[in-house]
């Protein structure tokens, strides 16, 4: 029971996803957590206090001006009681009020009065999630230390499809486990790059590769589960970001480099999983290039920046991990890259083996360091990521001069 003895204050705000909160409470309690529920006025239109009281085995609080509870300053007592304040679902309105520091109802007052971590699981229409006002509010909350879980992308209650779905209860519980159960990387700030890059030929066509981003996303999830604060810089993929991971979306190699270098100074760990295009067209045509029968068209290519080498060049005490996809002389090529780029660890796979790598669900890698090699046999990409995370944790622990920032 990983959450045994942990006290979670669950705030429920008024979105259709509130119907999932009884299941969320049950799962949290099954993990050993003690759960107290605060229900907003609008949330009561979607789920009842009676239901939540039954599954939590605790009275549900709904009103800041509850005379019986507030006789002993109940909202302050609740704020100090919680090991974690979790708001699920968190509506656009809720995010706005938290970002502004409002304190005009019980839940917002608790959030201002607590010194415990606050996590929110957003749920709203995709256009609301992508609106500039919501983007600003979420950025403000992240800057204030609020942990944002999701949202997922998919079909919504309104019939539209896109980002804004609340994470499923089991996904939220896994994220809470990571937040409240200290892992070997608790306090570490980690950056992961994932997916392909696309280098435009014209407004329609581009140069890219077969990377699906699955190994990079699995790596980000494994690091987060180990307690790291993860920033995922992702090329264009069709994957749902891992819970609790901050995602920066890019398209080209130059955009990825800019995103990485703008944030790398505060990172303890960098893991470059992205399949960055080695070359890009010297000039992208401003209009679609028309096909002409029998014509031969030459495209001049220029070299893209080497992102992992750029990070390693200024790493200091930072641990830098690279990935390599090879088709021949796998270990020799990996050793060459390790030394030439100044990496601490490189994970290499043989993509000539069609049963692993790229768009598949499985992989097999060899971890290469200056001290030797360790092979990880074919297994799921998530298991590969967990094994690499364990190796990273042991490498960090072995550095006597390595300072791990304290967790919040």
The tens digit of pLDDT for each residue in 220-252 reads 989 988 889 899 999 999 888 887 788 999 999
Residue 172 near residue 24, CB atoms below 8 Å: yes
Contacts with 245 (C-beta within 8 Å, 6 or more apart), sequence order: 220, 221, 224, 230, 231, 232
User: What pLDDT does residue 357 have?
Assistant: 62
User: CB count, 10 Å around CB of 53?
Assistant: 15
Residue 115 has phi, psi (to 5 degrees) of -110, 5
Range in 2-16, 72-86, 255-269, 284-298 with the lowest mean pLDDT: 72-86
Does the fold of domain 189-398 match that of domain 7-180? Answer: yes
State yes or no: pLDDT of 213 exceeds 60: yes
User: What pLDDT does residue 74 have?
Assistant: 55
Give the model confidence (pLDDT) of 265-323 as tens digits.
999 999 999 999 999 999 998 999 888 877 788 889 999 999 999 999 998 889 999 99
Per-residue pLDDT band for 73 (boundaries 50, 70, 90) equals: very low
Average pLDDT value for residue range 59-88: 73
Which of the four CATH numbers 3.40.50.1950, 3.40.50.970, 3.40.50.300, 2.160.10.10 does domain 7-180 have?
A: 3.40.50.1950
User: What pLDDT does residue 65 have?
Assistant: 59
**104 conformational bin, left if phi > 0, alpha if psi -120 to 50, beta if neither:** alpha
Residues tagged active-site: 158
Tokens representing 148 are 């944002």
The Cα–Cα gap between 259 and 231 comes to 10
Per-domain residue ranges of the chain: 7-180, 189-398
Tokens representing 76 are 């302050």
User: CB count, 10 Å around CB of 211?
Assistant: 24
Give the residue, 353 or 183, on which the prediction is more confident. 183
189-398 maps to which CATH number?
Answer: 3.40.50.10300
User: What pLDDT does residue 70 have?
Assistant: 47
State yes or no: pLDDT of 380 exceeds 80: yes
Give the model confidence (pLDDT) of 37-55 as tens digits.
999 889 989 999 999 999 9
State yes or no: pLDDT of 408 exceeds 50: no
State yes or no: pLDDT of 397 exceeds 80: yes
State yes or no: pLDDT of 75 exceeds 70: no
Beta strands in 30-170 (DSSP E): 34-39, 84-90, 118-122, 147-148, 152-155, 161-165
């Amino acid at each position: 029971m990983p959450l045994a003895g942990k006290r979670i204050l669950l705030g429920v705000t008024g979105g259709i996803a509130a119907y999932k909160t009884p299941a969320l409470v049950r799962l949290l309690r099954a993990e050993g957590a003690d759960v107290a529920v605060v229900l907003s006025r609008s949330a009561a239109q979607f789920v009842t206090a009676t239901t939540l009281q039954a599954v939590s085995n605790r009275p549900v609080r709904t009103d800041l001006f509850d005379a019986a509870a507030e006789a002993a300053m109940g909202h302050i007592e609740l704020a100090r009681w919680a090991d974690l304040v979790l708001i699920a679902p968190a509506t656009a309105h809720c995010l706005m009020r938290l970002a502004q520091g409002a304190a005009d109802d019980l839940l917002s007052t608790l959030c201002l009065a607590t010194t415990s971590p606050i996590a929110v699981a957003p749920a709203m229409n995709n256009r609301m999630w992508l609106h500039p006002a919501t983007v600003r509010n979420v950025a403000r909350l992240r800057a204030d230390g609020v942990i944002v879980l999701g949202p997922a992308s998919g079909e919504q209650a309104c019939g539209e499809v896109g980002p804004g779905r609340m994470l499923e209860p089991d996904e939220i519980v896994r994220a809470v486990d990571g937040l409240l159960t200290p892992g070997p990387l608790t306090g570490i700030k980690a950056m992961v790059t994932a997916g392909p890059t696309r280098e435009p030929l014209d407004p329609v066509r581009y140069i890219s590769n077969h990377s699906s981003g699955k190994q990079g996303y699995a790596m980000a999830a494994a690091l987060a589960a180990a307690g790291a604060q993860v920033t995922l810089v992702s090329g264009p993929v069709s994957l749902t970001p891992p819970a609790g991971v901050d995602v920066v979306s890019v398209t080209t190699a130059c955009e990825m480099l800019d995103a990485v270098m703008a944030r790398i100074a505060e990172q303890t760990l960098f893991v470059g999983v992205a399949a960055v295009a080695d070359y890009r067209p010297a000039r992208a045509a401003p209009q679609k290039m028309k096909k002409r029968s029998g014509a031969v068209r030459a495209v001049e290519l220029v070299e893209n920046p080497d992102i992992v080498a750029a990070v390693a060049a200024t790493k200091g005490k930072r641990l830098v991990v690279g990935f390599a996809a090879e088709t021949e002389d796998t270990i020799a090529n990996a050793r060459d890259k390790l030394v030439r780029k100044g990496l601490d660890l490189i994970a290499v796979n043989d993509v000539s083996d069609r049963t692993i790598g790229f768009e598949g669900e499985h992989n097999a890698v060899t971890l290469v360091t200056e001290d030797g090699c360790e092979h990880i046999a074919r297994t799921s990409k998530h298991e590969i990521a967990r094994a690499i995370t364990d190796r990273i944790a042991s490498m960090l622990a072995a550095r006597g001069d390595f300072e791990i920032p304290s967790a919040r």
